[in-house]
Amino acid sequence: MLLYCVFFSVTIGLMLPAGYCQAGTEFICAGVRYPWRRNYECCGRRLYNRYTEVCCEDGQVVARHHSHGTACCGAVAFDSRWQSCCAGHVIYGAGLGCCGMKPYSKRNATCCQGVLSMGLSGLLSQCCSTQAYNPRDRICCEGRLWPRQTGLQCCGPELHNSSSQFCVQSKILAEPRKGPHHLLCGEKQYDSRTQTCCSLYRNPTPNPPGLGCCGSPGNVVHYNLSTAWCCREKVQHQVCDTQKKCQTPYGLQSYSSPSMECLNGDVVPHEYVRKCGEAYYDSRALTCCDGYLLFLVPGWTCCGKALFNHTSQSCNGEIREQSDVRRTLRMCGWNSHYEPSSQRCCLNASHYGQSYTAGYTCCNGTVDPTPGTSLYGGQCCDGKGYNPDTQFCCSGQIMNHEGWQRIGENSFLEETLQSICCAGEHFHVSSGETACHGTIPYNPRTEVVCEGMVHAVGMGHCCGESVYNPETHVCCSGYSHPRPNVSDNSTWLECCGTQPYDTADPGLRCCSNRLHRLPHDLLGVSHRCCGDDLINTHTHGCCSSEGQQVEYLLGTDTACCGHMPYNTSAESCCQGRLHLGRPQQKIVECTVISVKDIDLQAACNHSVLLGQLVGVVAAGGYLEYTVRKWPETWTSGTREQFKTQDASVEIRLHACSCPTLTPLQDYAFWVSRGQEGHTKTLTSQLVSPLYLASDVSYLSRLLAKCQH
């Protein structure tokens, strides 16, 4: 039985399929149906494999490199966790900005209209035309920098005092301001506490309270707001006489039904109403191509379901530029196209596309003008585009930089110290708040913020939601405990979950954040962790993978396949999977084990290489992992530079006996002595994931014991 899903969006009176639906035995991608396939999703109107491919913003699909990639850089996938995209090129390093053709870090540089200023962090600076400046001591007025002075604000390119002067259309008025409650009505001042202003006058004049304005410019009368209303620019004492009403974005609008139509929230003359499929539309603004409604472009005609300019383009199944056959346009949705080198594609939920250039930004499928932005420079605020060099988003409102100081990433402080915007959220200043901790405003001179909790202390360290003194207490997973009173340095405290413990105490053992205390009569018995349990290694074993540990009773025919114990006389294991039947040849077991579970003898018989797994290829029954090295390795407790000068090294693991490792995870690879620098490809049978900084410190102390 097929299950059908229907998504609709109303666009100019037309019902169109929007988004996609996974419907039991099929996918529906923007109206196109596909058979259901595991691990696939929709990308525009086609399917893609979300593990081996990336869906780009224009609906195109590109292949991941060695299963890496979270975003698109031109036609190449890149991993935004450790790479960046600049001018169509993938750059090593996460979170880098692009200034023209040059990548840069916002932590030590600022880009203003393509000009890069080094030494001034973009997280705290602002741009004044092409100049970067610190808003704490300077202010920018229409491209001109001024020293910051208390009480002065911008009026065009100049500074003025708003308490004593008026600024109108970027010019300072000659007449001084009469008082703090006086405002302008045209060119005249009025007291806002006792008067109102009617702006319909050619020369607006202040009016007494209770009176409204009605009419048109040059023909305005006053009326009593409590006894009359303004209808069709005339004062009426009853409801306007209308034949029909049309609900428009501006309220109810009356119209005459014989000559007008109410169409999609607008009153349209009857002669301009056309039909496209089952939808009616205004032919002055739209056109119909093959049953699809498109915005009308003067001089353009239909090419299938898209529009093209017949004077400069040709339509032969696809739209191409006549002047340059090499300049191929890519489709943008089902209705439009764009030129990738100078344009971007904006898609809405119905896969309706619009091309746009620099100076515009796509937000929720709508293109907004954002003057001054580069092709990738605009940002969105509650569905509206803005220029982050001159504006910021606060609680869904777009604000200008003028009158505000940048105090952090997407955080601003109003110069009047009345409001503060923290991580895009607006707050009124009530107790001297001038800094942000995420979305929490606080006073840095008198307060400390810990996990959203504000503490009234001038200085302190956080432990969870609390403040603690690290000289007298130790913090473990948000809980503080008094430090032991010892006179020497023999006590090495670490945390086990929420509890501190002395790692030198042979009676204590931490297993997966669970602290165990051995009975006195078992102190000489060998134990190890298996998950959060402590097992006796003379009677039990532990099978482990990166995510699970399972203990088992020791036996002659028992071995591990990842975290699964199995009978070697009846089964075989390859890449963490069990198969019926004994293996044809004996395979040396490969173990993935926590560094805290490695015994001292194994540690002392190996060197250890630390690095991040960044790639893998299969080669003759082995998996060769590319590992980006950490700068050091340890050998029997002695730190030394790894002898190969390459930034990465190949670690060779048996494809069957070793479980599959996780990309981009840090590991300690235990390498047999003598391999440290003689070859770029090393073999390892013992691998330890490194999840926490405590894993590395434990490893260092473990290897240091090999000297004793």
pLDDT (0 to 100) of residue 632? 57
Mean pLDDT of 290-302: 82
pLDDT (0 to 100) of residue 585? 61
**Residue 414 near residue 420, CB atoms below 8 Å:** yes
Mean pLDDT lowest for which of 73-77, 160-164, 636-640, 676-680?
636-640
Residues 444 and 477 in one domain: no
Mean pLDDT of 363-381: 94
Residues 610 and 571 in one domain: no
Q: Which has more pLDDT, 81 or 649?
A: 649
pLDDT (0 to 100) of residue 535? 81
Q: Which has more pLDDT, 335 or 103?
A: 103
Residues 596 and 700 in one domain: yes
pLDDT (0 to 100) of residue 687? 81
Read off the pTM. 0.51
Q: What angle do CA 308, 310, 311 make, to 5 degrees?
A: 125
Residue 443 pLDDT > 70, yes or no?
yes
Buried b (16+ CB within 10 A) or exposed e, 382-408: eebbbbbbbbbbbeeebbebeebbbbb
Q: Count structural domains, the chain.
A: 6
Query: Would residue 674 count as lying in a domain?
Result: yes
Locate 59 and state its tokens.
């609906």
Distance from C-alpha of 153 to C-alpha of 139, rounded to nearest angstrom: 8
Mean pLDDT of 490-514: 79
Mean pLDDT of 68-81: 80
Residue 673 pLDDT > 80, yes or no?
no
pLDDT (0 to 100) of residue 118? 82
Mean pLDDT lowest for which of 241-250, 277-286, 328-337, 558-567?
241-250
Residue 116 pLDDT > 90, yes or no?
yes
Residue 111 pLDDT > 90, yes or no?
yes
- Residue 106's alpha-carbon distances to 113, 124, 339, 527, in angstroms, are 15, 9, 30, 50
Residues 544 and 614 in one domain: no
Q: What is the DSSP letter of 506?
A: T
Is residue 685 exposed (0-12), middle (13-18) or buried (19+ Cβ within 10 Å)? middle
DSSP E strand boundaries for 401-536: 404-408, 411-414, 419-422, 425-428, 435-437, 440-442, 448-450, 453-455, 461-463, 466-468, 473-476, 479-482, 493-496, 499-502, 508-511, 514-517, 527-530, 533-536
Q: Which has more pLDDT, 196 or 140?
A: 140
pLDDT (0 to 100) of residue 532? 73
Query: Would residue 159 count as lying in a domain?
Result: no
pLDDT (0 to 100) of residue 8? 31
> CB-based contacts of 487: which residues, under 8 Å, 6+ apart?
none
Residue 246 pLDDT > 70, yes or no?
no
Locate 345 and state its tokens.
């594609």
Q: What is the pLDDT of residues 297-315, one digit of tens each?
A: 788 888 877 788 877 777 7
What domain range is 443 assigned to?
390-455
Query: Would residue 278 count as lying in a domain?
Result: no
pLDDT (0 to 100) of residue 136? 74
Q: What is the pLDDT of residues 161-213, one digit of tens each?
A: 988 999 988 898 888 998 888 888 877 888 887 777 776 666 677 767 777 77
Q: Which residues pair with 94 in a beta bridge?
A: none
Residues 650 and 700 in one domain: yes
Residues 626 and 700 in one domain: yes
Residue 420 pLDDT > 60, yes or no?
yes
Cβ of 281: how many Cβ atoms within 10 Å?
Answer: 25
Q: What is the pLDDT of residues 690-708, one digit of tens each?
A: 766 667 777 777 777 776 5
Query: Would residue 145 count as lying in a domain?
Result: no
Residues 624 and 571 in one domain: no
Residues 567 and 669 in one domain: no
Closest CA to 649 of 683, 685, 686: 683
How confident is residue 584, by pLDDT bands cut at 50, 70 and 90?
Answer: low
pLDDT (0 to 100) of residue 5? 39
Residues 549 and 617 in one domain: no
Q: Which has more pLDDT, 545 or 428?
A: 428
pLDDT (0 to 100) of residue 18? 36
The mean pLDDT of the chain is 78
Mean pLDDT of 536-557: 78
pLDDT (0 to 100) of residue 241? 44
Half-sphere exposure in the Cβ direction for 123 (13 Å, CA):
9
Mean pLDDT of 403-432: 92
Query: Would residue 347 count as lying in a domain?
Result: no
Q: Which has more pLDDT, 128 or 253?
A: 128
Query: Would residue 367 count as lying in a domain?
Result: no
From 78, 102, 126, the end of a domain falls on 102
Residues 31 and 96 in one domain: yes
Closest CA to 132 of 142, 146, 150, 118: 118
Residues 36 and 64 in one domain: yes
pLDDT (0 to 100) of residue 23? 42
Q: Which residues pair with 189 in a beta bridge?
A: 184
What is the per-residue DSSP string for 96-150? -EEETTEEE-TTTEEEETTEEEETS-TTT-EEETTEEE-TTTEEEETTEEEE--T
From 486, 502, 518, the end of a domain falls on 502
Q: Which has more pLDDT, 683 or 126?
A: 126
From 586, 621, 641, the end of a domain falls on 586
Mean pLDDT of 99-122: 84
pLDDT (0 to 100) of residue 253? 62
pLDDT (0 to 100) of residue 157? 93
- Residue 502's alpha-carbon distances to 428, 508, 515, 669, in angstroms, are 48, 7, 11, 27
Cβ of 95: how many Cβ atoms within 10 Å?
Answer: 12
Mean pLDDT of 118-139: 84
